[in-house]
């Protein structure tokens, strides 16, 4: 079933995997009908700055502004501010330079913080940032309210201690075991302007290949989002972030295991079974298709490692074609 370019698509997004997949949709779907609904559970205030890592990853990636050498952060980036922070030393034994802040990237954070302080909402700031980078699609934070993904540590002296996502992800380089995840503020958050409308209008809702536990779940936790996907799961196509039992990037594989699942495409299908009618899995996981279908989730097998524009494009095409 081919899809015309004017059929609206909404993509539930985390960071890197989602940003790459969005590149497959840009040009294929009219920009006015393409909406990215982004996780803000990783957002934080660091040294006074409002930082929205997933929103920035999406913007920088779609703008082709990500450094090719590093694979993250902006091209043409410099690190003068960071070097100074480091030179000043630790405070109460804690270094202040644990989170990389490039000078150009700082401009984005300073703009966001300044605009919020002047009364802009996060969706307005994000639209202004996207406009500067000449991105025509809608990039919407799932909510303008603060949501903070918190993880509880599982082991050793720290067992039971709850830390913020960034402290876990960057500060500890996600090398510690986690016993649970919580989205502080989500229950009372209100979906941002246009978010529920974009889901309602979409003929296909895509769940990007992001971390289910800490990138997609906080989006689903905003009241109205999960409910809409559940009600329309036949129109929802997920992409497994687990390929051959591993996450391409980040701790999704270990997190699934730590949270009592297994690290497999089937486990992803199980995680999403209430909200996703179709799951796109990688060819290396083709043998799991029967198990996934046994869960009541349609399995579609294709190449999902977006290592070239051609593969990304084909994956986007598959998602659009295969929805039920």
By CB under 8 A, name the binding residues for a second copy: 45-50, 77-78, 80-85, 87-89, 91-92, 94, 96, 101-104, 106-108, 110-111, 113-115, 117-120, 128-129, 131-132
Nearer to a second copy, 120 or 180 (CB): 120
- Count Cβ atoms below 10 Å from residue 53 Cβ, excluding itself: 22
Nearer to a second copy, 116 or 305 (CB): 116
Q: How far is CA 134 from CA 25, 63, 78, 113, 244, in A?
A: 16, 7, 23, 21, 36
Query: What's the closest the beta carbon of residue 214 comes to a second copy, in angstroms?
Result: 24
Longest dimension (CA), the chain: 61
Classified as helix, coil or strand, 11 is strand
Query: What's the closest the beta carbon of residue 281 comes to a second copy, in angstroms?
Result: 39
Query: What's the closest the beta carbon of residue 75 comes to a second copy, in angstroms?
Result: 12
Residue whose pair of structure tokens reads 């289910």 in the numeric block: 212
Nearer to a second copy, 88 or 262 (CB): 88
DSSP H helix total and E strand total for the chain: 13, 14
Query: What's the closest the beta carbon of residue 48 comes to a second copy, in angstroms?
Result: 3
**Looking at residue 192, what DSSP letter applies?**
P
Nearer to a second copy, 170 or 295 (CB): 170
Query: What's the closest the beta carbon of residue 273 comes to a second copy, in angstroms?
Result: 41
Residue 134 is encoded by which pair of tokens?
Answer: 């000449």
Nearer to a second copy, 106 or 292 (CB): 106
Task: Please choose, from the candidates 15, 24, 42, 38, the residue with its C-alpha nearest in 3D space to the C-alpha of residue 211.
Answer: 15
């Amino acid at each position: 079933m081919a899809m015309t370019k004017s059929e609206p698509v909404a993509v539930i997004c985390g960071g890197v995997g989602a940003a790459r997949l969005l590149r497959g949709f840009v040009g294929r779907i009219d920009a006015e009908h393409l909406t990215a609904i982004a996780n803000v559970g990783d957002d934080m205030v660091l040294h006074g700055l409002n930082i929205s890592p997933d929103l920035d990853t999406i913007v920088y990636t779609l703008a082709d502004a990500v450094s090719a050498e590093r694979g993250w952060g902006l091209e043409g980036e410099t690190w003068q501010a960071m070097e100074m922070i480091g030179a000043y030393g630790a405070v109460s034994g804690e270094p202040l330079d644990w989170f990389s802040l490039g000078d150009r990237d700082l401009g984005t954070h300073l703009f966001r913080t300044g605009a919020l302080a002047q009364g802009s909402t996060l969706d307005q700031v994000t639209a202004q940032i996207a406009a500067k980078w000449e991105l025509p699609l809608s990039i919407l934070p799932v909510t303008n309210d603060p949501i903070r993904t918190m993880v509880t540590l599982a082991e050793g002296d720290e067992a039971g201690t709850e830390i913020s996502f960034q402290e876990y992800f960057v500060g500890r380089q996600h090398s510690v075991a986690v016993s649970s995840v919580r989205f502080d503020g989500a229950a009372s958050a209100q979906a941002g302007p246009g978010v529920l409308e974009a889901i309602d209008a979409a003929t296909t809702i895509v769940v990007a290949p992001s971390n289910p536990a800490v990138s997609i779940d906080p989006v689903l936790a905003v009241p109205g989002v999960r409910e809409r996907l559940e009600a329309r799961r036949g129109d929802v196509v997920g992409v497994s972030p687990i390929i051959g039992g591993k996450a391409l990037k980040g701790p999704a594989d270990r997190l699934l295991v730590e949270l009592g699942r297994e690290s497999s495409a089937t486990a992803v299908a199980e995680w999403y079974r209430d909200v996703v009618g179709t799951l796109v899995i990688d060819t290396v996981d083709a043998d799991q298709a029967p198990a996934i279908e046994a869960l009541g989730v349609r399995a579609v097998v294709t190449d999902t490692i977006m290592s070239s524009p051609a593969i990304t494009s084909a994956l986007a095409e598959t998602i659009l074609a295969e929805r039920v």
